[in-house]
């Protein structure tokens, strides 16, 4: 079964996949203006999700660099300022720390701000605000102050750009108590997950795999299928479990197709959430296959992949027929665009790890 066919099956059979692991301030509802299944790119699915959230709650507002008339670098907020006005879709100065700081203040006044960081590498000027202020306010106030702030971050490679435009900084933030960190891999997930993130009373770092902005897929406007922090098996297999998030899911599905043609069966698990991680489907899969390969675009050292490998080794030790193996980018800064293909994990690198796992 192809990746596209499996995705279509998922969104049309959402009730079967639904799992209950997330509590939010208010559950997202279907956009009153759209019904049924629609084919959208991920970028436009996020636009539609933002529009639905803004129509449902006038306390939701957007803020970021060039997100107004321009619609953002990737046009994700295109048309929203014209629809909701410049008091709800705010163009900000080029000051990421100021953007997040203002969002914290707005949240304390009862708003639900959605702040856009223009590129992944630009988030570091806001690192202090995010990790020492935003993530800690609720605990500092003994639970009496909520922080319903979403920070949207286009991240990852595969777009042929330069260093600070293709980074994967998710481990920094998943390591921070008080932050929720999620990343969709499909237009359907992006549409619903952005609404669920906005509905959360906790701060959410919403990582958008920019290389997946343009491919289109089905979006079911009536059924989300599963809550924000649930992982899921998106392709069943018997020999090796492979797990990843964001754009890496496309790479894993390509690897699974190649493996199938060679007589090997890979089970693909999409994490969707990096903090917290829903280990249930992943552990169930490892119990069935006995082998696990973890793949990510980020550096391998002290990473999401490291955490998953350690946890699975602890919790599924007696099911493992081989060591948990990791595939990642190299532990160097992102290289010039001409070297991107050598730097980022490819289906071939995933399959090389699969071969090693099966050799045990």
- Catalytic residue IDs: 165
- Separation of alpha carbons 73 and 92, rounded Å: 14
The beta strands (E) that lie in the chain are given as 37-41, 60-64, 89-91, 112-116, 150-155, 180-182, 204-209, 216-220, 232-235, 240-244, 266-270, 273-275, 292-299, 325-329
- Separation of alpha carbons 191 and 187, rounded Å: 6
CB 350 within 8 A of CB 318: no
Question: At 23, is the secondary structure helix, strand, or coil?
Answer: coil
CB 334 within 8 A of CB 169: no
Contacts of 215 (CB under 8 A, 6+ apart): 41, 42, 250
Instruction: Name 235's bridge partners.
Output: 268
∠ CA 161-154-280, nearest 5°, is: 125
């Amino acid at each position: 079964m192809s990746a596209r066919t499996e995705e279509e099956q998922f969104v049309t059979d959402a009730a079967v996949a639904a799992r209950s692991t997330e509590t939010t301030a208010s559950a997202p509802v279907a956009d009153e203006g759209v019904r049924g299944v629609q084919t959208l790119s991920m970028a436009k699915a996020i636009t539609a999700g933002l529009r639905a959230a803004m129509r449902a709650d006038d306390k939701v507002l957007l803020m970021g660099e060039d997100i107004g008339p321009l619609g953002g670098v990737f046009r994700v907020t295109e048309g929203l300022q014209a629809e909701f006005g410049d008091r709800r879709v705010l163009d900000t100065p080029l000051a990421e720390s100021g953007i997040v700081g203002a969002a914290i203040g707005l949240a304390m006044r009862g708003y639900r701000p959605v702040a856009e960081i223009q590129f992944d590498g630009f988030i570091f000027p806001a690192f202090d605000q995010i990790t020492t202020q935003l993530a800690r306010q609720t605990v500092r106030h003994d639970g009496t102050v909520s922080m319903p702030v979403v920070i949207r971050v286009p991240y990852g490679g595969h777009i042929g750009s330069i260093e600070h435009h293709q980074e994967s900084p998710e481990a920094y933030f998943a390591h921070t108590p008080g932050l929720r960190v999620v990343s969709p891999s499909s237009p359907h997930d992006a549409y619903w997950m952005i609404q669920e993130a906005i509905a959360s009373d906790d701060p959410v770092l919403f990582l958008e795999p920019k290389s997946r902005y343009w491919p289109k897929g089905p979006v079911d406007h009536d059924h989300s299928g599963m809550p924000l922090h649930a992982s899921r098996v998106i392709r069943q297999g018997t020999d090796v479990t492979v797990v990843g998030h964001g754009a890496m899911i496309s790479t894993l599905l390509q690897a699974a197709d190649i493996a199938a043609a060679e007589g090997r069966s890979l089970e693909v698990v999409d994490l969707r959430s990096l903090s917290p991680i829903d280990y249930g489907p992943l552990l169930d899969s490892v119990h069935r296959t006995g082998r696990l390969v973890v793949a990510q675009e980020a550096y391998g050292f002290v990473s999401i992949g490291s955490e998953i490998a350690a946890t699975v080794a602890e919790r599924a030790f007696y099911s493992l027929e081989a060591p948990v193996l990791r595939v990642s980018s190299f532990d160097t800064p992102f290289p010039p665009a001409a070297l991107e293909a050598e730097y980022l994990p490819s289906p071939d690198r995933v399959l090389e790890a699969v071969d090693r796992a099966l050799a045990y």
